A and B are shown apart, each in its own frame.
Chain A
Amino acid sequence: MTEDQLRELIGRVRRGTLSRRGFIRRMAAVGFTAPMCTQLLALYGISPAAAQSVPPYRPTRRGGGQLKILYWQAPTLLNPHFATGTKDQDASRVFYEPLAGWAADGTLHPILAAEIPSIDNKGLAEDGRSVTWKLKRGVKWHDGQEFTADDVVFNWEYARNPAVAAVTSGSYRDINVVKVDDYTVRVEFPRPTPFWADAFVAATGQLIPKHLFKDYAGANSRDAPTNLRPVGTGAYRFVSFAAGDTVRAEANPNYHLPNRPFFDQVEIKGGGDAVSAARAVLQTGDFDFAWNLQVDDETLRRLEAAGRGRVNIVEGGNIEHIQLNATDPNREVDGERSHISTQHPAFRDPAVRQAMALLLDRQSIQEFIYGRTGPATPNFLNAPPRFRSPNMRMEFNVDRANQILDQAGWARGRDGIRQKDGVRLRFVFQTSVNAPRQRTQQIYQQAARRAGIEIEIKSVVASVFFSSDVANPDTYGKFYADMQMYTTTMPQADPGRFMNQFVSWEIAQKANNWSGRNIVRWRNEEYDRIYREAEQELDPVKRAALFIRMNDLVVGSNHIIPVVQRPLVSGSAVNLRPVLSGWDTTLWLLSDWYRET
């Protein structure tokens, strides 16, 4: 289906000559999923009567007692602009709020904004160069001061100041923020920007109060007492904090939403390990909620059987994938292996890459290793649904792989390993030390052996593999191996930043201390061109089509073989109603959590 046809269909729904259901049926016929259709319609302002991206909040009064949350990594600081990990962003989110957050379906949900900017409400400029946020009125900081546009502007100044050394500076340094009036701010972009919801949104958009931080907006940022005693606008206000151990909060009686929050106190306890955290929620019921349960599905099911808690699985964009190196890891050029001027002797043949993709048994990997925590997928870009390609297929077929290799002239040698022109199909396959990854490596190794390919398994300790240490040859960024496997996270509901990891100007190499994001070192002119196009494209449907094309290009090249999606897994008490999202922090809507009685 081409973009024009899509547009025509949407137009017909709008004019009323085609029913929503009819639209979804037609789309399904060409492989689009129902959520994707709904979102395409929503983008054009055609939303179902009861559009709910956030589940309804039912309690009619407060006073819900204590909520006990367990994090197996302990929060270490409470200033969102310094948060180095999700644990810190989550802990800060108890107290601080952004203008808007991302709901589970990848749509924006207003929090401190009065409404979500759109073309219709004149919030978005037609040329994509600015976005105007209207702030909610009557919001007060925990100390009673009014929340105004000055606070929003201050956060931009604070985060972009290099002396502050804020982790969030990436979201703020290239924009300009103007106060229009006390309750309106305008964010201006240097060029047309289709993804405008980065600054002041979600984890990096949490707003800190100007009146308490203005004297610490420079090199002395570390000395601000409020760093450790947060004063925000959130549903819960600060009680106590021990770095690396416990955060305690109590209900904010002046919260800006009615009947909220439900709980009197919130306690976040940190430390320990994921399995015992799962146990404390699912089996003994000592805690109400446990974050990020990186535990195998079998164990989770066994603990769940106790009936005290259940496992929540929320879809996000994180993807476990295998990369086939486009460059030669065994040849050194200018003191650098996997140099961009080289080509991988075996993987430069598309037949070999296609065979490698056919040899990965994703269905078994899902079934026997990841279970509910890793659905197999043929796509690299899986979510939000409007960006998911319907064109890719996953197939596990050893016979076809053999056939393809035979046809391409890779003949089996005396030892059963295929070779051609002196190049043997023998690959070093590296990943980090992690039980499911090692099991996946083994499954792949066995299948490859049946096709005359020998895979040598290598596993590197995670702290080395994922480090940015320039002196270490075993990091994933250097990629001094034929193949590697890891999970790329997708922290935003927009694939703009996510898909830049295959553009040619991001290639990891010595010149950029291997900090470039294109680690597989794959280059494709068409990809570069449509990525540039997507950066400027303001039409959401056209843009979605561009990203789908990008996914098809990179997955179709078989240099990237997606393995499984990694949704967010958490555990909660049976009667707890948490509101979770794969696109925002775990506690992004803690104000709406409640306990059913």
Chain B
Amino acid sequence: MTQYLIRRLLIAIPSLLGISVILFTVLALAPGDPFEELATNPAVPPEVRLQLRASLGLDDPIHVRYIAWLTAMLRGEWGFSFVSRVDVDQLILQRLPTTLIVIGSSQIVALAIALPVGILAATRPYSLFDKIANTLAFVGFSLPTFFTGLLFILFFSIYLDWLPFVYRTEINATGFAWFWEHVKQTIMPVMVLGLFQGAAWTRFVRSAVLDVIRLDYVTTARAKGLPERVVITKHVVRNAMIPVVTLVALQMPIVFGGAIVTEQIFRVPGIGSLLISAILANDTPVIMAVTFVFACLVVFFNLVADILYGWLDPRISYR
């Protein structure tokens, strides 16, 4: 097991290096620079802009910049944003709590919907419940989040005037009022993301359970006279969860990465909105850091998923 772990981690290094090279070159080849706004401002002489570019090393060849970035990264220096001149790790840490709360709770909402509904629908296939759940799931994942987001805003904020549609991290209140304000402004983004994700997962859980429920060992379990509850939870769900775990584990980095579109609509200051504004401003160090952390998390959760298989299904062994 330990050997397996070490091997997997060693394999991860070249793939991460490859990812970083690709990211860096693509970013370097993309048009634009962080001082675009200065270019159209006649009050700023072009020399000032050229000098700024030079001072940030933007005029060096790509490979020199990449090596400089890599060595700094290995020393634990993430660099600083060209735009805000703040250290990148500080920027990310500032955004992390909001991201974890909003995206994390939306994933919990999604699981809380998908697991019971999916399992229940699979145990009673083609019943009325299954049909309704199916229809709603289709509606849910065929509506994109930017659309449901706007729909929610129009209905809950503008028509009913119940919920605010601008997310504010700092709220002027204490105690319960503070908590309630936070809940009110978090409901819409969490629901938009949670319902979308939940709908997709419901379909997945249902088909995973359906695959298992027809197998002979389930019939055996029932023939033994086990109560239905035990059959479903112990024998069916546990086996059906293997593909679901892969899916959910691979989804976990997204919790970190945030949801770009939804964050933009509701002005949630999460990592997604940090990434998109960095991309729009050609702020290479921030884009590199966020996407690279993201890549690391994907690799890491892949490993976690593989390890979880072994726990769910003892037939899988690690060599």
Chain A residues within 8 Å of B, Cβ to Cβ: 66, 70, 74, 76-77, 79, 82, 84-86, 162, 165, 167, 169-171, 198, 204, 222, 227-228, 240, 242-246, 248, 265, 267, 269-273, 276, 279-280, 283-284, 286-287, 463-464, 466-469, 472, 477, 488-492, 497-498, 500-501, 512-513, 515-517
Please state if A246 and B269 are interface contacts (CB–CB under 8 Å): yes
Q: Do the beta carbons of A76 and B36 come within 8 Å of each other?
A: no
Bound Cα distance A76, B269 (Å)? 12
Query: Would you list which residues of chain B between 255 and 307 have a CB under 8 Å from chain A?
Result: 264-265, 267, 269, 273-274, 277, 280, 282
Q: How far is the CA of A200 from the CA of B267 in the complex (A)?
A: 35
Q: Assess whether B94 is in contact with A269, with CB atoms less than 8 Å apart.
A: no
Q: Assuming A76-B81, A167-B44, A464-B31, is B170 touching A267 (CB within 8 A)?
A: yes
Further pairs besides A84-B35, A228-B86, A265-B172: 14, Cβ < 8 Å: A74-B277, A76-B81, A77-B86, A84-B34, A85-B37, A167-B52, A244-B274, A271-B269, A284-B157, A463-B280, A464-B31, A466-B36, A490-B42, A515-B39
A228 cross-chain contacts in B, Cβ below 8 A: 86
* Residue B46 at the chain A interface, CB threshold 8 Å: yes
Tell me which of B70-78, B159-167, B229-237, B246-254 binds A: B159-167
- For A468, the closest partner residue in chain B by CB is B39
Residues of B within 8 A of A500 (CB): 42
Q: Evaluate whether A170 and B170 lie within 8 angstroms (CB atoms) in the complex, with A463-B31, A467-B31 already known.
A: no
Query: Knowing A84-B34, A489-B40, A489-B41 touch, does A246 contact B170 (C-beta < 8 A)?
Result: yes
Q: Which residues of chain B (1-42) have a CB below 8 Å from chain A? A: 31-42
B98 to chain A, nearest CB (A): 9
A-B contacts, 8 of them at CB < 8 A, read A84-B35, A204-B43, A267-B170, A271-B273, A272-B264, A276-B165, A488-B40, A488-B42
The CA of A18 and the CA of B235, in the complex, are separated in Å by: 103
* Cβ–Cβ contact A84 & B168, under 8 A: no
What chain A residues lie within 8 Å of B32 (beta carbons)? Answer: 463-464, 467, 469
| Chain A positions within 8 Å of B168 at CB level | 246, 267, 269
- Give the Cβ gap from A358 to chain B, nearest Cβ, in Å: 29
Interface residues in chain B, defined as those with a beta carbon under 8 Å from any beta carbon in chain A: 31-52, 55, 80-81, 83-86, 91, 94, 153, 157-158, 161, 164-166, 168-170, 172, 264-265, 267, 269, 273-274, 277, 280, 282
When distances are taken between beta carbons in the complex, the residues of chain B under 8 Å from A76 are 81, 83-84, 86
Q: A491-B42, A500-B42 are in contact. Are A82 and B166 (CB under 8 A)?
A: no
Q: Which residues of A contact B50 (CB under 8 A)?
A: 513, 515
Given A272-B267, A276-B265, A280-B166, A244 and B42 contact (CB-CB distance below 8 Å): no
Give the distance in Å from the alpha carbon of A284 to the alpha carbon of B165 in the complex.
Answer: 10
CB A366 to nearest CB in B, in angstroms, measures: 23
Q: Are A66 and B172 in contact (CB under 8 A)?
A: yes
Answer whether A244 and B36 are a contact pair too, CB < 8 Å, given A82-B85, A165-B52, A276-B165. no
Is the CB–CB distance between A284 and B161 below 8 Å?
Answer: yes
Determine whether the beta carbon of A517 is less than 8 Å from that of B42: yes
For residue B34, which residues in chain A have a CB less than 8 angstroms away from its CB? 84
Q: Which 6 A-B pairs have the closest CB atoms?
A: A515-B46, A245-B269, A76-B84, A467-B32, A272-B267, A170-B45
Inter-subunit contact B31/A244 (CB<8 Å) = no
Interchain CB contact under 8 A, A283 and B158:
yes
User: Would you call B42 and A498 a contact (CB within 8 A)?
Assistant: yes
A283 to B153, CA, bound (A): 12
Chain B residue with Cβ nearest A486: B40
Partner of B94, one of A243, A466, A490: A243
Task: Pick from A169, A243, A287 the residue with the most CB of B within 10 Å.
Answer: A243
A248 touches B170 (CB 8 A): yes
Give Cα A500 to B82, complex, Å: 29
Please tell me if the beta carbons of A468 and B81 are within 8 angstroms of each other in the complex.
no
Q: In whole Å, how far is B196's beta carbon from the nearest beta carbon of chain A?
A: 20
Q: Which of A271, A272, A286, A469 contacts B164 (CB 8 A)?
A: A286
Are the CB atoms of A77 and B84 closer together than 8 Å?
Answer: yes
Would B166 and A169 count as touching, CB distance under 8 A?
Answer: no
Asked whether, in the complex, the Cβ of A287 is within 8 Å of the Cβ of B44, the reply is no
Distance, CA A70 to CA B164, complexed state (A): 14
The distance from the CB of B69 to the nearest CB of chain A, in whole angstroms, is 17
Most chain A Cβ neighbours within 10 Å, of B35, B37, B52, B264: B37
Whether A468 lies near B36 (C-beta < 8 A) is yes
A246: chain B residues at CB < 8 Å are 168-170, 269
**With the chains together, A222 CA to B79 CA distance in Å?**
12
Question: Is the CB–CB distance between B158 and A284 below 8 Å?
Answer: yes
CB distance from B79 to the nearest CB of A (A): 11
Task: Kindly identify which residue among B48, B265, B267 contacts A167, using a CB–CB cutoff of 8 Å.
Answer: B48
Q: Chain B contacts of A467 at CB under 8 A? A: 31-33, 36, 39
- Tell whether, in the assembled complex, residue B264 and residue A512 are in contact, meaning their CB atoms are under 8 Å apart: no
**Residues on A with beta carbons closer than 8 Å to the beta carbon of B41:** 489, 491
Question: Which residue of A66, A273, A464, A466 contacts B39 across the interface (Cβ within 8 Å)?
Answer: A466
CA of A248 to CA of B94, assembled, Å: 15
How far is it, in angstroms, between the C-alpha of A489 and the C-alpha of B37 when the chains are bound? 11
Tell whether, in the assembled complex, residue B170 and residue A244 are in contact, meaning their CB atoms are under 8 Å apart.
no
Q: How far is the CB of B260 from chain A (nearest CB, A)?
A: 12
Can you name the residue of chain B whose Cβ is closest to the Cβ of A508? B46
- Chain B residues with Cβ below 8 Å from A492 are 43
Contacts of A85 in B (CB 8 A): 37
Determine the residue in chain B with the shortest Cβ distance to A198.
B43
Nearest residue (CB) in A for B279 is A463
Q: Which of A79, A165, A271 has the most CB of B within 10 A?
A: A271
Which residues in B have their C-beta under 8 angstroms from that of A477?
39
Cβ of A77: which chain B residues have Cβ within 8 Å of it? 83-86
Closest to A496 in B: B42
* CB <8 Å contact, B42 and A497: yes
User: Could you tell me the distance in whole angstroms from the C-beta of A340 to the nearest C-beta in chain B?
Assistant: 17
Residues in B whose Cβ lies below 8 Å from that of A82: 85
Query: In the complex, how many angstroms separate the beta carbon of B117 from the nearest chain A beta carbon?
Result: 32
A348 to chain B, nearest CB (A): 27
The docked-state distance in angstroms from the alpha carbon of A472 to that of B267 is 33
A222 to B285, CA, bound (A): 15
Contacts of A86 in B (CB 8 A): 37
Residue among A169, A198, A273 having the largest count of chain B Cβ atoms under 10 Å:
A169
Nearest to B273 among chain A residues (CB) is A271
Question: Which B residues lie within 8 Å of A272 (CB)?
Answer: 166, 264-265, 267
How far, in whole Å, are A491 and B48 apart by their CA atoms in the complex?
Answer: 17
**CB atoms of A501 and B85 under 8 A apart:** no
> B185 to nearest A CB, angstroms?
10
Decide: B39 and A286 in contact? CB cutoff 8 A. Answer: no
Query: Once the chains are docked, how many angstroms separate the CA of A271 from the CA of B278?
Result: 12
A356 to chain B: closest CB distance in Å?
24
Contacts of B264 in A (CB 8 A): 271-273
Min CB distance A122 to B, Å, is: 28
Residue contact A468 to B42, C-beta cutoff 8 Å: no
